[in-house]
Structure 1
Amino acid sequence: MTKPYILKMSPYLRPKIWGGRKLDEVFGKDLPEAGPYGESWEVSDLEEGQSVVCNGPLAGSSLSEVVSQWGAAMTGANRDGQQFPLLVKILDASDDLSVQVHPSDADIARLGLDADSKDETWIILDSDADPNIASDEGQTAGCILHGFEKATTPADFRMAVDENRAAESLRREAVFAGDVIRVAPGTIHAICAGVALLEIQEPSDTTYRVYDYQRPGMDGKPRELHLEKAMQVSNFDTHAPAKLSAKPSTAHPAMSVLVDVPAYRIEKASGVTELEWTVDARTPQVVFVTSAHGVELSSGDETVTLGFAQTAVIPAGVGAVQVRADKPADIIISGLGGAALVNG
């Protein structure tokens, strides 16, 4: 069996009715066809789409095939044979996404749903919002919808949906590059036109659409709505502020912690030229470059070069890892939640 090594990933690319061409024009993805593309699944072990290894002895293998071969050395201690525990995407919203919500594990157990929990966090990469406009209501692009400013009732929200006011009833907020927003299960939300972001989440594609602007899908037919299920799993209370503030990591002075929840932890290194740590064997890690200047990611004799908007998977059993950059670079590192990812 091939010894685990750092994997540079090639994404699974998804056309979307709300997508555009930024995945190519801004993020350097080789889109296979003309037309709108909305999602680049950088790291995916889902049946709906698999990312593929593009370096080393396993080049051309799907992430699922690597997980099957390496087991716990890939996915983490006590996870032998399980699915890769993260789904990492770039999203390009040229038009508004549907108003939607995702269930929690508690919802699935309570309602007996045939579904998977979906907790996700957005890191804004690009936005058409105007920084000179102080009011969120005055922004014509570059916004998100995220929960409710004031608590509402299921009956009032259902009426808003029936009257085509679903989007107007949600809190609207302009976002800018670097903003971090967690979308907990039960949060009704949407990404609006003019936003591109990195999404780190549980490995699930379960989405309950509430409202889709009465538009056709890629096949010319209206996309399916899931209003009854959505109403059962939604949180209608007042929501905390959407944007999160980074906190210094207590495990490494170069790192800040963006999010730490049971499903995942996200850390960021800003302006680094050198960084070393030992991977915690309980979790694999995903590295994504957000700066124009790239990095070299090494373990033992193996080195992977990552440029802007490129992604690597570090198997849980790799051990010591080094990052080197000729110029200060910014990287996002994600893994399972509950403990520091970068230590030292």
Structure 2
Amino acid sequence: MSFMFKPYPYVDPQALNTPKLPPELRNSVTAGNRAVGKKLFEAAPEHGVVVLDGYVGAQFDRLIKRIEEAAAGKKVRKFDVSCAYKDSDELEKMLAETLPEDRVIDPILLFGKSIHREIESLFDPERVEALRRELAKAKQTADLVILYGCGSACGALHNCADVTAFLDVTPLSATTRVQAGRVRALGDAKERPLPYLFRRLYYYDYEIMMLHRKDLIARGDVDFYIDSNLEDNLKLLPLAAFRELLAIQTGYPFRCTPVYLEGVWGGFFVKNLRSLPSDMRNCAWVFDMIPNEVSIQIKVGGHTLNIPFSTFFKAEGERLMGKESVERFGHVFPIRFNYDDTYGGSGNMSIQVHPPRAYNQEHFGEPFQQDESYYVVKTAGSKTYLGLQDDCDIEEFYRCIDRAEKEHIPFDHDRYVNSFPSEQGDQYLIPGGTIHASGRNQVVLEIGSYTIGSYTFKLYDYLRSDLDGNPRPIHSIHGKNVLVTDRRRSRIDGVLRPKPVTVRQGDGWKEEIVGEHDLIYFSLRRLSFEHDIADDTNGKFHVLVLVEGDEVLICSKSDPTHCYHQKHMDMVVVPASMGEYEIINLGKTPCRVTKTMLK
């Protein structure tokens, strides 16, 4: 998995959630830029200040124009909050530790260091105070004052506002706007190449703005929430209605909106299954539930809102994830889910390794190690790489890696890296430090631990270029630093490729543990049933994937109308607050559903 640099620009309409909403909530959406502009103008008192804050990538110009149209004949003053940011050079100096530049260990400068900062770190205190004075002066002479830009509702400026709105943007929308050259890093005056820009955004801008958005919603410091993904069709809700919507959604099983990415080894199984656009070259990654990368679509009356999933889980942490999860991991969704699809593709995934906890903390400031797991959903004579061969000469292996990286000399990776013939339903565990890869001609469900960045250290990638013809980067120094060299076939078979253990069963159904490990904080389960099976969240969220079967109904036992129709390979979250629920087979063949939960 990598940063979402080049997602395919497609919002999957099938991933739609339709909770039952009271009439007043269904009718609470104001849609269309002209109507939204008028709403904000009318909400402001005479000589008032309208503050338009927003997530990275939010575009303010069109909405400001509509507010000005609504204020026709009146004097309007506008202020861009970026005038109060720190200088570009000062921000660059501040972020030097976050964005180290060492092209020996990190050839394309992909990795960074997570250092906790808040929105205030973006601002120069003296400039903020000067802006406050300007706003106060403008109120005396203008009929309406508009303050806009990321962070404009920060604590130091919040009490200047009479009306505040937040323009939210999904990660997919933000990324496509970055790619189109429409987004700069906050406060940055320099022209930057895309790799630099994305790294800066992930390690600073996105993080401070997610925290800022969470705090604004939690404190009630915004009056209106705006879905600004469709720039010509903004959708506004009063904050109270938005909060009510999220609270209601936590009472339902739900599906996030996937993000699809092409890749050099990409396959076609998911592309065909989900009828993805024909001009997609392939589908390598399916980010069904990478928490910081996906969104959630919710039907509200005649409108569909597309909300970043991070907005949802940070606002509804305890009801969604459970008290224990919030206490252990904070307001982050602690497990990520995606598909790797090589089915019918051109080759294997890269031979790779991820960092264990101590290395992750020291080098990247991440609190957890990057653990993963593979569940084989579909295979056609493939194999899965895991661990080293028993007779692997590690120094010889390293020499081969170095020659491939520096001299472009290929080698037979199968001499050193162990593999197992893949069978549908196989579960592999990949704690940090374990060498691994998915082979050609299969689809694996990848489930891993939470990290801000993505620390995939490629040791060998068959001397391939990416789809744009650029050499794929190798991170051999990091990889060799973290590789656990005693994880070899004879020691991992039955441990990292465990045998299922039945934990409960009944007439026509059973639940098995298919994967648990002391180093991994989540439990991988499998529910097999002919007709139906009952379960209980017991205060912990569950994530369910229909890996065998056509369609099931996931519904609350206390109110069966709180349900989701899940189709093959859909990922559905059952919120911690749901309690008892059941899964009903709507097809003609027995079903298997993977269930992931915190241990």
TM over 0.5: yes
Distance in 2 (alpha carbons) for counterparts of 1:330 and 1:65: 31
Distance in 1 (alpha carbons) for counterparts of 2:290 and 2:260: 11
Change in Cα spacing, 1:286 to 1:53, as seen in structure 2 (3 Å) is farther
RMSD: 2.3
Please report how far the alpha carbon of residue 152 of structure 1 lies from its aligned counterpart in structure 2 after TM superposition.
4.4
Q: Which amino acid aligns with 1:174?
A: P
Contact 1:256 1:267 (C-alpha < 8 Å) held by counterparts: yes
Aligned match of 1:149:
389
Q: Which amino acid aligns with 1:145?
A: Y
Contact 2:262 2:280 (C-alpha < 8 Å) held by counterparts: no
Aligned match of 1:304:
564
Distance in 2 (alpha carbons) for counterparts of 1:98 and 1:51: 28
Deviating more after overlay: 50-59 vs 257-266: 50-59
- Secondary structure of the structure 1 residue equivalent to 2:594: strand
- Secondary structure of the structure 2 residue equivalent to 1:223: coil
Aligned match of 1:266:
524
Structure 1 residues 81-105: Cα deviation after superposition (integer angstroms, max 9, x where no partner): 5211111111111221111100111
- Secondary structure of the structure 2 residue equivalent to 1:309: coil
Distance in 2 (alpha carbons) for counterparts of 1:329 and 1:144: 24
Please report how far the alpha carbon of residue 7 of structure 1 lies from its aligned counterpart in structure 2 after TM superposition.
0.8
**How many residue pairs are counted as aligned between the two chains?**
320
Change in Cα spacing, 1:292 to 1:31, as seen in structure 2 (3 Å) is farther
Change in Cα spacing, 1:196 to 1:302, as seen in structure 2 (3 Å) is same
Per the normalisation by structure 2, the TM-score is: 0.50
Structure 1 residues 165-200: Cα deviation after superposition (integer angstroms, max 9, x where no partner): 362311122102111111221111111211211111
Aligned match of 1:256:
512
Contact 2:401 2:476 (C-alpha < 8 Å) held by counterparts: no
| Segments of 4+ moved more than 4 angstroms | 54-59, 151-154, 250-253
Structure 1 residues 55-97: Cα deviation after superposition (integer angstroms, max 9, x where no partner): 6788522221210221111122144452111111111112211
Deviating more after overlay: 308-317 vs 202-211: 202-211
The match for 1:227 among 476, 482, 495 is 476
Distance in 2 (alpha carbons) for counterparts of 1:232 and 1:269: 38
Aligned match of 2:549:
292
Which structure has the greater CA radius of gyration? 2
Aligned match of 1:106:
358
Change in Cα spacing, 1:51 to 1:101, as seen in structure 2 (3 Å) is farther
Deviating more after overlay: 2-11 vs 183-192: 2-11
Aligned match of 1:11:
258
Identity, in percent, stands at 18
Please report how far the alpha carbon of residue 151 of structure 1 lies from its aligned counterpart in structure 2 after TM superposition.
5.8
Contact 2:266 2:282 (C-alpha < 8 Å) held by counterparts: yes
**Which structure has the highest strand share of the two?**
1
Aligned match of 1:137:
none
The match for 1:120 among 357, 372, 381 is 372
Contact 1:44 1:63 (C-alpha < 8 Å) held by counterparts: no
Please report how far the alpha carbon of residue 279 of structure 1 lies from its aligned counterpart in structure 2 after TM superposition.
0.7
Contact 1:7 1:53 (C-alpha < 8 Å) held by counterparts: no
Aligned match of 1:280:
538
Unpaired runs of 5+ in structure 2? 1-243, 404-409
Tell me: higher relative CO, structure 1 or 2? Use CA pairs within 8 A at least 6 residues apart: 1
1:319 paired with 2:579, answer: yes
Aligned match of 1:335:
597
Structure 1 residues 222-247: Cα deviation after superposition (integer angstroms, max 9, x where no partner): 12211101111001113411532110
1:165 paired with 2:416, answer: no
1:21 paired with 2:268, answer: yes
- Secondary structure of the structure 1 residue equivalent to 2:255: strand
Please report how far the alpha carbon of residue 334 of structure 1 lies from its aligned counterpart in structure 2 after TM superposition.
0.7
Distance in 1 (alpha carbons) for counterparts of 2:377 and 2:268: 15
Q: Which amino acid aligns with 2:338?
A: K
Q: Which amino acid aligns with 2:521?
A: A
The match for 2:291 among 26, 45, 59 is 45
Distance in 1 (alpha carbons) for counterparts of 2:459 and 2:442: 20
Change in Cα spacing, 1:29 to 1:64, as seen in structure 2 (3 Å) is farther
Unpaired runs of 5+ in structure 1? 130-141, 338-344
Please report how far the alpha carbon of residue 13 of structure 1 lies from its aligned counterpart in structure 2 after TM superposition.
0.9
- Secondary structure of the structure 2 residue equivalent to 1:232: helix
Question: How does 1:8-87 map onto structure 2 within 5 Å?
Answer: 8-25=255-272, 27-28=273-274, 30-31=276-277, 33-46=279-292, 49-53=293-297, 60-80=306-326, 82-87=331-336
- Secondary structure of the structure 1 residue equivalent to 2:525: strand
**Which structure has the highest helix share of the two?**
2
Q: Which amino acid aligns with 1:320?
A: E
Please report how far the alpha carbon of residue 43 of structure 1 lies from its aligned counterpart in structure 2 after TM superposition.
1.1
Structure 1 residues 120-157: Cα deviation after superposition (integer angstroms, max 9, x where no partner): 1111111121xxxxxxxxxxxx1122111216464222
Aligned match of 2:499:
245
Change in Cα spacing, 1:75 to 1:99, as seen in structure 2 (3 Å) is same
Change in Cα spacing, 1:315 to 1:31, as seen in structure 2 (3 Å) is farther
Question: How does 1:199-238 map onto structure 2 within 5 Å?
Answer: 199-204=446-451, 205-237=454-486, 238=488
Aligned match of 2:177:
none
Distance in 2 (alpha carbons) for counterparts of 1:61 and 1:318: 21
Per the normalisation by structure 1, the TM-score is: 0.85
